[in-house]
Structures are given as C-alpha cells and as structure tokens.
C-alpha cells in the first residue's frame, strides 16, 4: 500500500481505494460511463451512477442496457449484487469518494466549445463536495479547462486542491464495439497539477486499468486527447481529399490505400468515408482551434482538414445525383435506401453521424428516403434532425425496388452479396466492394 507520510487526507483516500471500500461516482452514464462502471464493479467497487435522464436511470436500475454492445445481463448483475445504483439525485454525492465525470462536450452553432454539461455537472456537485474526495474529468476538452474552470469552482467551496481535495484529468479512450480492446486494456493517461493529486489519480485508476500513463499536468493530459483525435481527423481529411482527386483520375482510392498499407514502415492506413462521425473526431479539433486563438495562433492545418471532412456529404450527394443521371433518373422522386446510419460500423451510436446529414440532403433534394440499420431499429430523437422512420428490413425485393442503395455505414451483419446481385445502383462510400462492378459507384 502506498502512503505519502505527509498528507493524511491523501493516505486515507489511497487506503480506501486499495481495500476497495471507496465508493466510485460516475457522472454521465453513456458510452464512456457505463463501461467504466462495469469495470469498477468487476474488481469489487461499489458505484453510484449519476445522470439527469430519469428514463435512462430507471432502465439501468431495472437491469436494462440502452447501448447495444453492452449486454443487459452485465447491468442486471451489477444491480442485483448491490454494487451499482443509478440516480438523478446529486445529493447522493456526499457518500462518494471519487467522481468520474463523463458528460458530453459538444460544439455550439459557431463551432465553439460548449462546456455547459461539464460546468453544470460540477455546479450540481459543489454543494455536496467534501474534504478527501477526488474529482476527475474524463470528457474531451481544450487545454486549461480543468485548471481554469473546475479548480476555481471547487476552491470557492473552501476546499484546497492538492491538500484536502484532489483534482485530475484523465481522458476517455473508449472505442465502442472494438473486440480487441477493453476498458482495462486501453492505457490511460492521467494528468494532475500537484503531486498529491497525481498520486490520488494513480491510486484510483491503477485498480482498474492495466497501464496508467502519468503526465505532468492536466493541460498536458487535455492536449494528449486532442492530439489523438486531431491526428485521426487530419489523416482522414487527407485521404478524403485524395479520394476526390483519384475519382477524377479514374483511380480506385481503396485499391491505392490497400497497396500502400503493405509497406511495413512509415505508413499507417486511413480510409475515406462520407464524413466524420462520433462524438470525438468531428468535434475535438475545434476545441484546440478555439483555444489557440486566445494565443493569437490560427491552426490552418487543423481547420482545413475539418472543412474537407465537413464537405464530404455534399460531395457524396454529387456522386449520387451523377450516378442516377447516368441512368436517366432524377434524384427528386427516386427511392434511395441509406444503408447504415450509425456513425461507424457495428455500433448503435448516432452522434454526429454523416449518414444522417446525407439523409437530410437527400430529402431536401426531393428523394424518397428510407434507411436500413439493424443497430438502429427506429430513428431516434435528435437535436438537429427528425425523421419519422423505422429501419427497413433488407430483402431482394426491397433492393430491387430502390433506385439507389447508398452505403453510408458498413455494418458487418449485412448480406452485401445479395445487395450486389439485386441492386441497380450502389453508391459505396465505405469501400465495401473492392474492384470494379457495373452497378457500383465508389464515393
């Protein structure tokens, strides 16, 4: 057991974590919070889950998961064992030793950071915070958020960060439905601005994560998360731009990428698509571009890749219209079946999905839009889009009746051979079909 010998408050927290009597509070029970809860329960910690959505809380307390790749029986077991309870009552925070905040950090309509979920969560906790607790922000944000937004709020309550309260930043790294990695096996970055806070963070995460990577400050940890996602956004923007060039040259970009990927050094394959989706990659780069302006820096490279990726749905639309025109059909009045509306394959996550942007563009142009996605049986409520649609089951008849099959998300559980056999026109944005086919247009 680790003892500082200097800070009794820290030693008491470390002792609680080591003997697993510490109660873990997870705020935000979504794609990040739920897997984290299950991991803490798995190793023997009691967890209180906080969320503002009463319907979500009721489902979880009844042992029902609302995320497809998280099984009901795992939630039910945690509840039945008395190891997990969800609540909307933030006064329960007085019984918690460590808070892990896993709430959304979206952009507003001006592409500026919207920290209202983070600051609102912390403000809800403030009346119940007490000496000896730990608070860790896991939500992606710009460098300086923990130090500039959270620390002053906590210290206004009379708590001294680093002495009798411990504040850390440890960005989430969940990859939903990826069978190769789990919460425990993905290394976890942990940043703090004092040694005591860092020791509290390491004690907290070493219990559930195989490898914890300490960095020197909360700013460094915040920047680490942004670098990870900007790296992906920029490289996807690059291959999306190359896709447009290759298309004009009648070159199959997927063939080129597959060939380049055989180089055993100096190349990492990234693949084009209809645009960026998910809560991280379409959003996080703009957190840094916004913060960089405070220092008089214009992040041209990052913003250029953002513009390229944001414009991909419009480019795909052009390919759909041109492909229909070549068959003497107008987009207006054509039946277009959008195949896959989650933001990536094999998940039910709709956040920032480019598929939905494509549906909106198609509808605006007068197309008769249907979708098929077994992961999303009914189109969910969304802030920006509204479709009164349910997933259309795939069959040879449905495929034959469609003027265009637009592959927007390439789930593995789809019979693509059947689609290829019966479709008059397929617009493939995901490289499902390699090689040339008379009824397939790459987009």
Contacts 24+ apart (CB under 8 A), 432-437: 432/407, 434/252, 434/254, 434/255, 434/258, 435/252, 435/255, 436/252
**113/30 same-domain check:** yes
| Mean of pLDDT over the chain | 95
Please tell me the distance from the alpha carbon of residue 219 to that of residue 132, in angstroms, as a whole number: 23
Task: Inform me whether the pLDDT recorded for 5 exceeds 60.
Answer: no
User: Binning pLDDT at 50, 70 and 90, where does residue 177 land?
Assistant: confident
User: Would residue 393 count as lying in a domain?
Assistant: yes
Residues 248, 109, single domain; the answer is: no
* Same domain (yes/no): 273, 207: no
Task: Name the region of 423 (left: φ>0; alpha: ψ -120 to 50; beta: rest).
Answer: beta
**Mean pLDDT along residues 146-170:** 97
Q: Crossing angle of helices 218-248/253-260, nearest 10°?
A: 130
Residue 2 lies in a domain: no
User: Cα(first)–Cα(last) distance of the chain, in Å?
Assistant: 57
Confidence (pLDDT) at 6: 67
77 closest CA partner among 109, 124, 41, 115? 41
Q: How many Å is the Cα radius of gyration of the chain?
A: 24
For residue 4, pLDDT beyond 60: no
Residue among 190, 197, 280, 404 flagged as catalytic: 280
Distance CA 179, CA 423 (A): 32
Q: What is the pLDDT, as a whole number, of residue 281?
A: 80
Mean pLDDT of 236-258: 96
Asked if the structure places residue 192 within a domain, the reply is: yes
Tokens 């009824």 correspond to: 439
Residue 382 pLDDT: 86
Q: Residues in the chain, how many?
A: 443
Alpha helices in 249-283 (DSSP H): 253-260
Query: Residue 169: left if φ>0, alpha if ψ -120 to 50, beta else—which one?
Result: beta
Q: What is the pLDDT of residue 1?
A: 44
Q: Could you confirm whether 280 is annotated as catalytic?
A: yes
- State how far Cα 295 lies from the chain centre: 28
| Tally of domains in the chain | 2
- Judge if 33 and 153 occupy the same domain: yes
Question: In this predicted model, which residue has the larger pLDDT, 4 or 111?
Answer: 111
149, 182, 216 — which closes off a domain?
216
Structural domain boundaries enclosing 179: 8-216
Quote the pLDDT of residue 309: 93
- 126-152 pLDDT per residue, tens: 999 999 999 999 999 999 999 999 999
291 and 373 in a single domain? The answer is yes
Query: Which DSSP letter does residue 302 get?
Result: H
In a domain, 239, yes or no: yes
Least confident of 176-190, 215-229, 395-409, 411-425: 176-190
**Cα–Cα dist 2/430, whole Å:** 50
A 10 A CB-CB count for 389 gives 15
For residue range 198-245, what is the model confidence (pLDDT) as tens digits? 999 999 999 999 999 999 999 999 999 999 999 999 999 999 999 999
127 with 195, same domain: the answer is yes
- Tell me the average pLDDT across 381-401: 93
User: Are residues 257 and 192 part of one domain?
Assistant: no
Q: Are 211 and 239 in the same domain?
A: no
DSSP code for 146: I
Any domain includes 225: no
In this structure, is residue 257 part of a structural domain? yes
The pTM (predicted TM-score) of the whole model is 0.91
Asked, for residue 1, whether it belongs to a domain, the answer is no
**Other C-beta atoms within 10 Å of 215: how many?**
18
One domain, residues 323 and 435: yes
What integer pLDDT is reported at residue 423 of this predicted model? 97
Percentage of residues of the chain with pLDDT beyond 90:
89
* Whether the predicted pLDDT of 368 surpasses 60: yes
Kindly state whether residues 211 and 285 are assigned to the same domain. Answer: no
pLDDT in tens, 323-358: 999 999 999 999 999 999 999 999 999 988 999 999
CB contact at 8 A, 121 and 115:
no
Nearby residues of 210 by Cβ (< 8 Å), 6 or more positions away: 184, 185, 187
Residues 196, 286 within the same domain: no
Last residue of a domain, one of 151, 186, 216: 216
At residue 277, does pLDDT exceed 90? no
CATH assignment of the domain containing 317: 3.40.50.720
Alpha-carbon distance of 71 to 75, in angstroms, equals 7
Confirm whether 103 is domain-assigned.
yes
Domain boundary among 165, 188, 216: 216
* Same-domain pairing of 175 and 38: yes
CA distances from 24 to 93, 125, 189, 224 (A): 10, 14, 19, 25
Spell out the residues 6+ positions from residue 313 whose beta carbon is closer than 8 angstroms to its own.
274, 275, 354, 357, 358, 361
Higher local confidence (pLDDT), 404 or 66: 404
């Amino acid at each position: 057991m680790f003892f500082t010998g200097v800070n009794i408050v820290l030693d008491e927290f470390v002792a609680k974590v080591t003997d697993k009597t510490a109660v873990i509070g997870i705020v935000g029970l979504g794609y990040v919070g739920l897997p984290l809860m299950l991991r803490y329960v798995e190793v023997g910690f009691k967890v209180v889950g906080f969320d503002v959505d009463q319907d979500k809380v009721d489902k979880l307390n009844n042992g029902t998961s609302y995320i497809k790749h998280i099984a009901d029986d795992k939630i039910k077991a945690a509840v039945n064992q008395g190891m997990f309870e969800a609540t909307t009552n933030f006064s329960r925070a007085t019984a918690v030793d460590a808070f892990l905040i896993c709430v959304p950090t979206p952009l507003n309509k001006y592409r500026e950071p919207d920290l209202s979920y983070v600051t609102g969560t912390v403000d809800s906790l403030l009346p119940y915070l007490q000496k000896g607790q730990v608070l860790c922000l896991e939500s992606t944000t710009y460098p300086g958020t923990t130090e500039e937004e959270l620390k002053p709020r906590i210290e206004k309550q009379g708590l001294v960060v680093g002495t009798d309260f411990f504040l850390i930043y440890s960005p989430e790294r969940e990859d939903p439905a990826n069978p190769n990695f789990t919460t425990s096996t993905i290394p976890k970055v942990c940043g703090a601005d004092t040694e005591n806070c860092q020791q509290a963070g390491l004690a907290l995460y070493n219990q559930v994560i195989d490898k914890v990577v300490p960095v020197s400050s909360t700013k460094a940890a915040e920047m680490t998360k942004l670098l990870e996602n900007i790296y992906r956004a920029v490289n996807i923007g690059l291959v999306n731009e190359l896709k447009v060039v290759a298309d004009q040259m009648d070159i199959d970009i997927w063939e080129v990428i597959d060939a380049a990927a055989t180089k055993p050094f100096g190349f990492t394959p990234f693949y084009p698509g209809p645009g960026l989706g998910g809560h991280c990659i379409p959003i996080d780069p703009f957190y840094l571009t916004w913060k960089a302006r405070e220092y008089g820096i214009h992040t041209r490279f990052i913003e250029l890749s953002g513009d390229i990726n944001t414009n991909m749905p419009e480019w795909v639309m052009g390919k759909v219209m041109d492909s229909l025109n070549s068959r003497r059909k107008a987009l207006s009045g054509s039946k277009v079946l959008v195949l896959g509306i989650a933001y990536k394959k094999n998940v039910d996550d709709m956040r920032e999905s480019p598929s939905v942007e494509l549906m909106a563009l198609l509808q605006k142009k007068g197309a008769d839009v249907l979708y098929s996605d077994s992961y999303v049986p009914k189109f969910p409520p969304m802030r920006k889009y509204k479709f009164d649609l349910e997933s259309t089951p795939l069959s040879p008849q449905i495929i034959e009746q469609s003027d265009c099959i637009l592959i927007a998300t390439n789930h593995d559980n789809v019979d693509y051979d059947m689609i290829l056999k019966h479709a008059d026109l397929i617009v493939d944005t995901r490289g499902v079909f390699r090689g040339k086919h008379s009824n397939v247009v790459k987009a």
